[in-house]
Structure 1
Amino acid sequence: MHANRRGFLAGTGAALAVPLLPRKLFAVSLAGTPLHGLSAFGDLKYGPDFTHFDYVNPDAPKGGLFSFSPPNWLFNQNPQTFNTLNSFVPRGDAPPRMELCFDSLMTNKSTTALDEPDAVYGLLAESVTISEDRKSFEFALRPEARFHDGSPLTAEDAAFTYKLFKEDGHPSLLLVLTEMTEAVALDRHRLRLSFSGKHSERTILDAVIFPILSKAYYTANSFEGGDLKPPLGSGPYKVGRVSAGQTIEYERVADYWGRDLPVNRGAYNFDRIRIDFYRNRQAGFEAFKKGDVLYRQEFTARVWATDYDFPAIAQKRVIRREFPGEKRPSMQAVAINLRRERFQDVRVRRAINMCFDFDWTKRTLFYDSYDRSQSSFERSDYKAEGMPSPEELALLEPLRGQLPPEVFGEAVMQPVSNASGRDRKLLGAASKLLAEAGWKREGNVLVNARGERLTLEFLDDDDSLLRIIAPWVENLKAIGIDASMRVVDSAQMQARQADFDFDLVMMALSWDGTPTEDGLATAFHSRSAKLASSRNLPGTADPAVDALIAAVGRATDRQSHIVAMRALDRVLRARQDWIPCWYLANHRAAFWDVFGFKEPKPDYGFPAEALWWHDKDKAAAIGKG
């Protein structure tokens, strides 16, 4: 699961020459057999003798600079500032792409089999062997694996890492390891991870892409420390130049131990990857126009429609184009904090939603470029449609007494307005809901039986959202809600989200191609509701939601997985803990014409910094050689 701007892999040789996995991830018939890769339901595209992924250029030249503003990030990373280089703890603000400095047992988030929905292939581990009871996984680590200081990366480092993450890691890490019972180095190059049996079959797919840390380094240095000392890594890049809160450069490791592995061939081509941090999007855009930033994805409709007319565009030195979006479920939504008593009644949440006039916003502010989100799993087969199917009902009926009645009708859709900006019919319906929930009008405000005002504050760190949220706030005020919006600096925003210190906040999430039980738990499960820094911003703690997430984890084939996800989607939409906002079908990208890249882009990811390369001839032609 990635947060983003509005919005974790190839063995060869006879020992690994095994058949592709069958339908179940952990088939009993393959117990005890070393495997070169894993997927959720056995549909691996690449065999044990593959040489590179199809979407890379295996002969891509090395060199050059890729400077950009990251469109997505992981863990505690912050795209606007940073005060620590430890990306794997709950607190602090780390720079995006620190994960490039670390290898994982199997392919990591940067280039993980991006033409498949959920496959992982061996990186540090040349093979994995599954136990007969499917509770233990034994990894054979490559003896040539090294940290950047030349010291060997061993099973002891891996065991140390998993135990560390289970105790002190970011929620995105420790929640996955909830049912891990053991991480042990059997010898220098063999690691065993064991689970309780309560885990999902797909838990291992999340666990194997975790970064592996150096035991020696984090024995000598505090894991919880928030300093800017570059940690010891093992990946294709290491930390280079750092200016706290302003700039970080990642330098390609020329003698990187894994550079010739099939999972890495054709990737990680730039000598330097630079991220400059800007307080707002406009400042970042001005830096792009000057050529200080070479690649940019645009997330402001007005800017894309009206401001890409600067000289470098006319001179064709800058390319402006759209790339297809990923075949991955995504969500951009406003979280309503249920930890606040006044938002616990679903009628209040529905009323808040009715005051957002998306149809006016699309026409007036979005230049008709966005569509309304309906689902937490937009743009995917996991989005519920129409009435529940018999298969969905088989999951929902046992929970009927715990579920809103709307779950059993047509899938809940977002309000449609008359696009006037103040639809009196919708505002009247919202007022009626609030009255039913016990909020009565006194003058210009709503109060409850205790005389407490119904207050609401949108919190954000991006002033470009003011023009979108302000009309929503005005509609809320019109029906008596004491509504406002507060813009804070990025570090304060991250800290307040971590502590759930907000009323309403917007977040964009992108799920893996095949969402796992553990990934979903970080945003929707009761066990993450009180866990600081989790993605469960509303504080959803519903046994029925937990049961449906467990059903997703129990799915034994792709169709049953889709059914469980759709049933979950119906419940989330009826609860309205999250108010779905909008989505864009494509990536709006602009870049100085100094890059080479292979087309078409892969279906399940778009890490240009990992897949593109510097084209010397193009750069020379536009004076950036």
Structure 2
Amino acid sequence: MGTTLRFTRRRFGQMALGLAASAALPGRGFAASPTETPLHGLSAFGDLKYPADFAQFDYATPDAPSGGRLDFFVPNWMLNQSPLTFDTLNTFVLKGNAPPRIEGLYDALMTSSLDEPDALYCALAATVTISPDRNAYVFALRPEATFSTGAKVTAEDVVFSYETFKEKGHPSLQITLQEVVEVVADAPDRVRLVFSGKQTDQDALGVFGMPIVPKAFFDAEPFESVTAKAIPGSGRFEIGAMEFGRYIEYRKRQDYWAKEMGFARGLDHFDTIRIEFFRDRTVAFEAFKKGSITFREEFTSKTWATDYNFPAVLDGSVVKREFPREKTPTFQCWALNQRRERFADRRVRQAINLCFDFEWTNAQMFYGIYKHSDSCFETSDFKAEGPPSPAELEILEPLRDKLPEEVFGEVWTQPVSDGSGRDRTRLREVLRLFGEAGWTQKGGRLVDASGQPFTLEYMIDDPGFERVYSKFVQTLKAVGVDASFRLVDGAQYQERQNRFDFDLIGAAYSMGATPTRDTLVNFYGSQTKDREGSNNFVGMADPGVDALIDVVNRAEDRRSLTMAMRALDRVLRARFDWIPNIHSESHRAAYWDMFGFREPKPDYGWPVERLWWVDAEKAEALGKA
């Protein structure tokens, strides 16, 4: 949001590689995969790109040198993780703040690639076999698979992990596992996952990517209370040096069991990944300028436009450049908490949106580098355009009585201001909308019929938001809203967000190219309206949206998925629950010129910490060898 970082809810098992997209694949799902036959991978839409004996993913670099260290300030995170501080090493629960990238400690039964939209390949599992009724999946574990403790990964560990996450895990994990009804150890090296029969192939994508943890560790450690101890995993990394709240180092395991297997070969070149925690962006930027941080993705427009003129940039020691954004949906919106009655009226939300003069803000505060968002699915094929197509109408018409009439006309787009910062025509429209919703101006204040003032508190965790969005708040005040900022620290922000204790917050997420039911329900579904820790910050509960989520989930090919997502987009934009904010079409990054990497970057994910490596000659020239 001009000065924001991206919040990214990434699935475990994908290990920061994300779900990719490719429209060229034919329409075949799990249903096309044979039953009672051991398989090396599964694809919800289309054939697998890689054969059973594949040596590496195409974007991997096996001949890259191994070693060195990456020091960075993370651009994205998941579950209970925070980039500002950390006070627990348990990322599987709602409580506390875990360090980002701790998911690197854990492998899953299956993992995804960057160059397919919905394919999963066996990781901890050697094969997966689908039952005749297609409701059960039997995984044969690899005999080589071991935890960092040296213990073998067993079926009991898998059963424990799934059952514990479903019962006690973070709400996002519980939502993903809702259609799993049974997990059974058929043998020490064989486990069976049984679904309810209500699941679709898309539902399984997240389920099979769950992290696996050792059951034995929790014999003496209650799951919910693990904080200062690292939960062992079977993944590529383990925790090295760390200090709560300041930094953590992930050290590459030299004894990693899968380093020469196709799904892991040619990735993870750094010996150490060090994450620094800063509560203040100015301090973080100064650390980068000094070279103690060596890679930085920039989210502050003013800094990008005006501050990259220090000596290391001028002499070429630091490279400043833009990289293409992934071909996946970009979600960057404001959330007005409709659990508070004054925000429940759509006209109120429309009026508040009109108080944000994007054209003025982009010119005066963002240096012209952002675009105004119309949709929750910007930069993707899921964004609707114009009137509904015949394929979209086929989805929408049966639900007409549950949907706003506006859905069936031209799709909503952001109104354009005159750029003055005080567009009088626009302000009159703001007052009209508030008036229709029952709020009138008295003595310069908006009040309801009982004389209660309209208040709005914008909760932030970085003072930079106050600078960038001060004009927005000033405009709200000008029309009579008692508007203010509330700056809280990172831990308090996370806790209040989890409890839905706010009026207005900003939210930014990267979504996969194949949205699954658990992802959509987490943001838009009725069942998460009151589920603390979910991403349904606005408090949505709409039967029409729920029905469309089901249509998306039942899509049998990518074209059907795209049409259903566009239909959902139309409804979300007409309802105005989430208020689309801004987005960028590129990654703005700066780094000390000591790295090597393959170009072009992958189209559907950019985990620099997994793909890049230290170039010894460049590092030596900079004195960083």
What is the deviation of 1:117? 2.1
Q: Contact 2:79/2:170 (CA < 8 Å) preserved in 1?
A: yes
Name the counterpart of 1:113: 113
Name the counterpart of 1:56: 60
Matched, 1:37 2:47: no
> Over residues 541-581 of structure 1, what are the superposed CA-to-partner deviations in whole Å (9 max), with x where a residue is unaligned?
11111110010000001111011100110111111111111
Q: Give the letter for the 2:210 counterpart.
A: F
Counterpart secondary structure, 1:420:
coil
Name the counterpart of 1:273: 273
Name the counterpart of 1:199: 199
Name the counterpart of 1:124: 124
Alpha-carbon separation, structure 1, partners of 2:599 and 2:433: 51
Name the counterpart of 1:16: none
Structure 2 length-normalised TM: 0.95
> Over residues 484-523 of structure 1, what are the superposed CA-to-partner deviations in whole Å (9 max), with x where a residue is unaligned?
1111100000000000000010010111111111211111
* Unmatched 5+ stretches in structure 2: 15-24
Matched, 1:594 2:594: yes
Counterpart secondary structure, 2:418:
coil
What is the deviation of 1:27? 2.0
Q: Contact 1:118/1:512 (CA < 8 Å) preserved in 2?
A: no
What is the deviation of 1:132? 2.1
Q: Superposition pairs for residues 340-419 of structure 1, below 5 Å?
A: 340-419=340-419
What is the deviation of 1:482? 1.0
Out of 58, 74, 80, the residue aligned to residue 84 of structure 2 is 80
Matched, 1:70 2:74: yes
Alpha-carbon separation, structure 2, partners of 1:408 and 1:529: 26
Q: Give the letter for the 2:592 counterpart.
A: W
Alpha-carbon separation, structure 2, partners of 1:348 and 1:608: 42
Q: Contact 2:33/2:42 (CA < 8 Å) preserved in 1?
A: no
Q: Contact 1:456/1:504 (CA < 8 Å) preserved in 2?
A: yes
Q: Give the letter for the 2:36 counterpart.
A: G
What is the deviation of 1:122? 1.0
Matched, 1:250 2:223: no
> Over residues 586-620 of structure 1, what are the superposed CA-to-partner deviations in whole Å (9 max), with x where a residue is unaligned?
11111111111111111110001011111111100
Q: 1:67 to 1:186 in 2, by over 3 A?
A: same
Q: Give the letter for the 1:54 counterpart.
A: D
* Unmatched 5+ stretches in structure 1: 11-20
Name the counterpart of 2:22: none
Q: Contact 1:69/1:277 (CA < 8 Å) preserved in 2?
A: yes
Q: Give the letter for the 1:27 counterpart.
A: A
Alpha-carbon separation, structure 1, partners of 2:42 and 2:372: 35
What is the deviation of 1:442? 1.4
Alpha-carbon separation, structure 2, partners of 1:375 and 1:33: 42
Q: Contact 2:319/2:590 (CA < 8 Å) preserved in 1?
A: yes
Q: Give the letter for the 2:608 counterpart.
A: A
Name the counterpart of 2:524: 524
Alpha-carbon separation, structure 2, partners of 1:587 and 1:203: 30
> Over residues 160-198 of structure 1, what are the superposed CA-to-partner deviations in whole Å (9 max), with x where a residue is unaligned?
111111111112211011111101111111111111111
Q: Contact 2:520/2:549 (CA < 8 Å) preserved in 1?
A: yes
Name the counterpart of 1:15: none
Counterpart secondary structure, 2:251:
strand
Alpha-carbon separation, structure 2, partners of 1:556 and 1:224: 39
What is the deviation of 1:343? 0.6
Q: Give the letter for the 1:506 counterpart.
A: G
Greater shift after overlay, 326-335 or 53-62? Answer: 53-62
Q: Contact 1:55/1:599 (CA < 8 Å) preserved in 2?
A: no
Alpha-carbon separation, structure 2, partners of 1:548 and 1:43: 26
What is the deviation of 1:339? 0.4
Structure 1 length-normalised TM: 0.95
Name the counterpart of 1:223: 223
> Over residues 253-301 of structure 1, what are the superposed CA-to-partner deviations in whole Å (9 max), with x where a residue is unaligned?
0111111111111111111100110012211110000011010000011
Identical counterparts, % of pairs: 54
What is the deviation of 1:6? 4.1
Matched, 1:576 2:576: yes
Q: Contact 1:247/1:277 (CA < 8 Å) preserved in 2?
A: yes
**Following superposition, which runs of at least 4 residues in structure 1 exceed 6 angstroms of deviation?**
none
Q: Superposition pairs for residues 218-617 of structure 1, below 5 Å?
A: 218-617=218-617
Alpha-carbon separation, structure 2, partners of 1:219 and 1:391: 54
Q: Give the letter for the 2:200 counterpart.
A: S
Alpha-carbon separation, structure 1, partners of 2:264 and 2:609: 13
Alpha-carbon separation, structure 1, partners of 2:432 and 2:274: 53
Q: Give the letter for the 1:368 counterpart.
A: G
Counterpart secondary structure, 1:73:
coil
Q: Give the letter for the 1:462 counterpart.
A: D
What is the deviation of 1:479? 1.2
Alpha-carbon separation, structure 2, partners of 1:483 and 1:246: 34
What is the deviation of 1:421? 0.9
